[in-house]
Amino acid sequence: MKYLEEFRNQELAGKLSGKIKQVAGKDKIHLMEVCGTHTMSIHKSGIKGLLPENIRLISGPGCPVCVTPNSYLDRAISLSLEEKVLITTFGDMLRVPGSTKSLEQVRARGGKVRMVYSPMDALSLAQQNPELKVVFLAVGFETTSPTIAATISEAERKKINNFLILVGHKLIPPAMKALVLDQRIGINGFICPAHVSAIIGLEPYQFLARDYKIPCVVAGFEPLDILQGILMLTEMIVSGKAEVKNEYSRVASFAGNQKAQAILEKTFEPADSEWRGLGTIPGSGYRLKAELAHRDAEKMIPVQVEPTKTHQGCKCGEVLQGLVEPPNCPLYGKVCNPEKPIGPCMVSSEGTCSAYYKYVGVAP
């Protein structure tokens, strides 16, 4: 495929690896890849094996399904059991366990849940079923939220009033700030998410370089992109510089997608938001603007939600902060695996535990 294969060239990857080893020095360097798609690509392409021993890659909280808290899932499950409500969702959310069950389990017991590929498909379902309230589970980072904002805008234009969303969107830069402030992690540089950056541009990361002296590089998802990003970060760290640089200029621009930013601004406003593992982070989520309150499933369809419970022993929260590596969780590979996941980090194919299980395996 055009513009993918070129960035998977093994010979160049080997040379980039050599160059990184040349400049890395001896001091420990901790780089966090914030995005789950980077985590997957790093494991799949064996990048960890191409780095010198002093460079450690830490997986961050960039899997939207993983950071969605139980309380959100529990509400979605309660909504699916309401009369004349149909839950629509991206496929990754189906198997994520809430406090006591998943959407998939509740569907088997009569919950009304439908998987869709695009939020526009959910809008079509609303149009075709005017007797139902169609609720879309609006999760995801800045890559995804503009697609939902555009769908809301279309629903307004076509006056499809039975389309609602349950807002669970998260914003990446405030979470990066929370991770930097947590002294236990000790991040020296960030590999910034490729497609979040395509939307928001580079400016929202500047405070990390300016105020916290943490270099940031926006990198694409292919192996050469990631290696080049690591090289750029390592060069800055070794020379004591902290800037925001862009390896992924073929898609992400400094200003980002301004059309997408405008529609986000028209639809949502920032709000405090709860992340699994990281707790409530100020300004790290969205709520619908007051004039779109009629689209807010939480306000418009009141339901009883069961008290939140977390699974004893599951270290997903610590994994999401880069504090625990999956094999150090007591459940990993023993009772928790992709077939029967206990925690969300094992459910989502982009979850750190799932990526480990697939590419590293379980120690005998």
Partner 1 sequence: MCLAVPMKVERIEGAIAIVESAGMKMQVDISLVPEAQVGEYLIVHAGFAIEKLKPEEAEETLKLMREVLQAVEEGE
Q: Sheet with 163-169: list strands edge to edge.
A: 113-115, 85-89, 133-140, 163-169
Residue of the chain from 86, 150, 164, 209 that contacts partner 1 (CB under 8 A): 150
Q: Which residue reads 């409500």 in tokens?
A: 85
- The correct pick among 47, 51, 65, 73 for binding partner 1 (CB under 8 A) is 65
Total number of residues that touch partner 1 (CB under 8 A): 55
- 65 vs 171, beta carbon nearer partner 1: 65
To 10 degrees, the CA torsion angle through 247, 250, 254, 255?
-150
Tokens of 342: 């206990």
Which listed range, 31-39, 73-81, 276-284, 303-311, lies at the site for partner 1 (CB under 8 A)?
A: 31-39
Residue 117 in the binding site for partner 1 (CB under 8 A): yes
Contact in structure between 336 and 346 (CB atoms under 8 Å)? yes
**Least distance to partner 1, CB of residue 37, Å:** 5
- Note whether 252 binds partner 1 by CB under 8 A: yes
Using CB under 8 A, which of 61, 62, 285, 326 touches partner 1? Answer: 62
- Residue 70 DSSP SS3: helix
Q: Is 2 in the site for partner 1 (CB under 8 A)?
A: yes
- Which residues in the 184-203 window bind partner 1 by CB under 8 A? 193-196, 198-199
DSSP designation for 272: E
Pick the binder of partner 1 from 24, 31, 37, 89 (CB under 8 A). 37
Would you state the structure tokens that stand for residue 220, as one six-digit string?
């694409």
Query: Residue 43: how many CB atoms within 10 A of its CB?
Result: 20
Q: Give 110 or 117: the residue with its C-beta nearer to partner 1.
A: 117
Rounded to a whole number of angstroms, the minimum distance from the CB of residue 199 to partner 1 is 6
Which of 321, 348, 352, 354 touches partner 1 (CB under 8 A)?
A: 348
- Pick the binder of partner 1 from 59, 89, 144, 352 (CB under 8 A): 144
Q: What is the DSSP letter of 336?
A: B
Contact 216, 31 (CB under 8 A): no
- What residues pair up with 87 in beta bridges, in sequence order? 113, 135
Q: What is the secondary structure of 118-183 as a DSSP string?
A: SHHHHHHHHHH-TTSEEEEEEEE-TTTHHHHHHHHHHHHHTT-TTEEEEEEEB-HHHHHHHHHH-T
Restricted to residues 86-105, the positions that interact with partner 1 (CB under 8 A) are 90, 92
The answer to the question of residue 355 lying near partner 1 (CB under 8 A) is no
- Phi–psi pair at 37, nearest 5 degrees: -70, -35
**By the criterion CB under 8 A, which residues form the site for partner 1?**
1-4, 6-7, 12, 15-16, 18-19, 22, 35-37, 62-65, 90, 92, 117-121, 140-141, 143-144, 146-147, 150, 153-154, 193-196, 198-199, 221, 224, 228, 247, 249-252, 257, 259-260, 263, 348, 350
